[in-house]
Structure 1
Amino acid sequence: MSDSAPPPIRPLPETVVNRIAAGEVLARPSNAVKELLENSLDARSTTVSVACAQGGLKMMQITDNGCGIAPEDFRFLCRRFATSKLKTYDQLQGGEVDTFGFRGEALASVSHVAHVSVTSRTAAGACAFRGTFRDGALLPIDAGIAPDLGGPEDPAPGEDVLQAYLTPTSGTQGTAITVEDLFYNVPARRQAFTNPRAEYVRILDIVSRYAVHYPGVAITCRQHGASRADLSTPGRLASPRQAIQAIYGAEVARNLHDIDIPRDTTGDLKVAVRGLFSAAESRFRNPVFFLFINNRAVSSPSLKRAVDTLYANLMLTAGGKSSFVYLSLTLPGAHVDVNVHPTKRFVNFLEEDRIVELIVSTMADRLQTENTARRFEVTPLGSPALDMAPSTPRASASGPRAPDTPSTPRTRPSSSISSQTSSPQFMVRNSSASQTLDSFLLRRGDLRAAAEPGTGAMVLDAPDTPSGQATGTPSTLLDTPTRGAPILLRSVRLLRQQCVAASHSDLLALVRESIFVGIIDGRRSLLQHGTRLMTFDHVRLAYELFYQQVLVQFSQLNTFEFDQPPSVRDLMLLVTSHGPLLESDVAASLADSLTAGHTSAEDLATKLAEVLLARASMLQAYFGIGIDEQARLTHLPVILPGHLPVLARLPIFLCRLAHHVPWAEESPCLEGLARELARFYAPDPRDITDAGGDAFARPLEQVVFPYIKSYLLPPEHLATDGSILQVASLPDLYRVFERC
Structure 2
Amino acid sequence: MPISALPQSTVRTLGSSITITTPCGVVKELIDNAIDAGASYIEVAVSSNHLDTIRVRDDGHGIDIDDFDALGRRAHTSKLRAFDELGSRARETFGFRGEALAAMNTFAAVSITTRTPNDVVATRLQLKRAVGGAENRSPASAPVGTTVQVTKLFDTLPPRKQYSLKNSAKYIKSTRDLLKAYVLARPVLRLSFKVLGEATGSWSYAPACAADINEAALQIFGKPLASSCIHVSRNSACDQAELPQASQQVAEDFILEAFMPKPGFDVHAVKGKGLYLSVDSRPLSATCGIAKTITAIFKNHLNRATDGTKSGISIPNPFLRLNIRCPAYSYDANVAPLKDEVLFGDENKIIASFTGLCQRVY
Please tell me the TM-score bracket, short chain as reference: 0.7 to 0.9
Q: Structure 1 CA distance, aligned partners of 2:217 and 2:361?
A: 21
Cα RMSD, aligned residues only: 2.1
Any idea what SS the aligned residue of 1:137 has?
A: coil
> Which 10-residue stretch deviates more, 185-194 or 266-275?
266-275
Q: Structure 1 CA distance, aligned partners of 2:172 and 2:319?
A: 21
Q: Structure 2 CA distance, aligned partners of 1:23 and 1:96?
A: 24
Match of 1:254 among 222, 227, 237: 227
More strand by share: 2
Residues 59-85 of structure 1 show CA distances to partners (whole Å, capped at 9, x for unaligned) of: 111100000001221111101110001
Relative distance call for 1:320 and 1:22 in structure 2 (3 A) is: farther
Q: Structure 1 CA distance, aligned partners of 2:57 and 2:44?
A: 7
Is the counterpart of residue 281 in structure 1 residue 263 in structure 2?
no
Q: Which residue of 2 aligns with 1:124?
A: 118
Aligned-pair CA distance for 1:238: 2.1
Q: Which residue of 2 aligns with 1:704?
A: none
Q: Which residue of 2 aligns with 1:90?
A: 84
> Which 10-residue stretch deviates more, 174-183 or 253-262?
253-262
Is the counterpart of residue 238 in structure 1 residue 211 in structure 2?
yes
Residues 401-438 of structure 1 show CA distances to partners (whole Å, capped at 9, x for unaligned) of: xxxxxxxxxxxxxxxxxxxxxxxxxxxxxxxxxxxxxx
Question: What does residue range 467-486 of structure 1 map to in structure 2 within 5 Å?
Answer: none
Q: Is the 8 A contact 1:24 1:343 kept in 2?
A: no
Higher CA-based Rg: 1
Aligned-pair CA distance for 1:103: 0.7
**Unpaired stretches in structure 2, ≥5 consecutive residues:** 241-247, 286-290
Identity between Structure 1 and Structure 2 (%): 26
Aligned-pair CA distance for 1:97: 5.5
Q: Which residue of 2 aligns with 1:592?
A: none
Residues 268-288 of structure 1 show CA distances to partners (whole Å, capped at 9, x for unaligned) of: 461101121124432245232
Match of 1:39 among 24, 33, 40: 33
Runs of 4+ in structure 1 off by over 6 angstroms are: none
Aligned-pair CA distance for 1:118: 0.6
The residue type paired with residue 70 of structure 1 is D
Question: What does residue range 489-638 of structure 1 map to in structure 2 within 5 Å?
Answer: none
Question: What does residue range 325-340 of structure 1 map to in structure 2 within 5 Å?
Answer: 325-340=320-335
Number of aligned residue pairs: give it: 337
Any idea what SS the aligned residue of 1:140 has?
A: strand
Is the counterpart of residue 304 in structure 1 residue 295 in structure 2?
yes
Aligned-pair CA distance for 1:348: 0.8
**Unpaired stretches in structure 1, ≥5 consecutive residues:** 1-6, 142-165, 368-740
Q: Which residue of 2 aligns with 1:605?
A: none
Question: What does residue range 11-90 of structure 1 map to in structure 2 within 5 Å?
Answer: 11-90=5-84
Match of 1:347 among 342, 350, 362: 342
Q: Which residue of 2 aligns with 1:678?
A: none
Q: Structure 1 CA distance, aligned partners of 2:225 and 2:154?
A: 38
Q: Structure 2 CA distance, aligned partners of 1:265 and 1:119?
A: 49
Q: Structure 2 CA distance, aligned partners of 1:287 and 1:97?
A: 27
Q: Which residue of 1 aligns with 2:159?
A: 188
Q: Which one has more relative contact order, counting CA pairs under 8 Å at least 6 apart? A: 2
Residues 127-160 of structure 1 show CA distances to partners (whole Å, capped at 9, x for unaligned) of: 111111221423632xxxxxxxxxxxxxxxxxxx
Q: Structure 2 CA distance, aligned partners of 1:69 and 1:83?
A: 12
Relative distance call for 1:313 and 1:28 in structure 2 (3 A) is: farther
Q: Which residue of 1 aligns with 2:191?
A: 219
Relative distance call for 1:221 and 1:237 in structure 2 (3 A) is: farther
Relative distance call for 1:296 and 1:32 in structure 2 (3 A) is: same
Aligned-pair CA distance for 1:306: 2.6
Relative distance call for 1:55 and 1:296 in structure 2 (3 A) is: farther
Q: Which residue of 1 aligns with 2:245?
A: none
Residues 660-717 of structure 1 show CA distances to partners (whole Å, capped at 9, x for unaligned) of: xxxxxxxxxxxxxxxxxxxxxxxxxxxxxxxxxxxxxxxxxxxxxxxxxxxxxxxxxx
Q: Structure 1 CA distance, aligned partners of 2:239 and 2:200?
A: 45
Q: Which residue of 2 aligns with 1:700?
A: none
TM-score (norm: length of structure 1): 0.44
Q: Structure 1 CA distance, aligned partners of 2:236 and 2:71?
A: 38
Q: Structure 2 CA distance, aligned partners of 1:136 and 1:97?
A: 30
Q: Is the 8 A contact 1:29 1:55 kept in 2?
A: no
Q: Structure 2 CA distance, aligned partners of 1:42 and 1:140?
A: 24
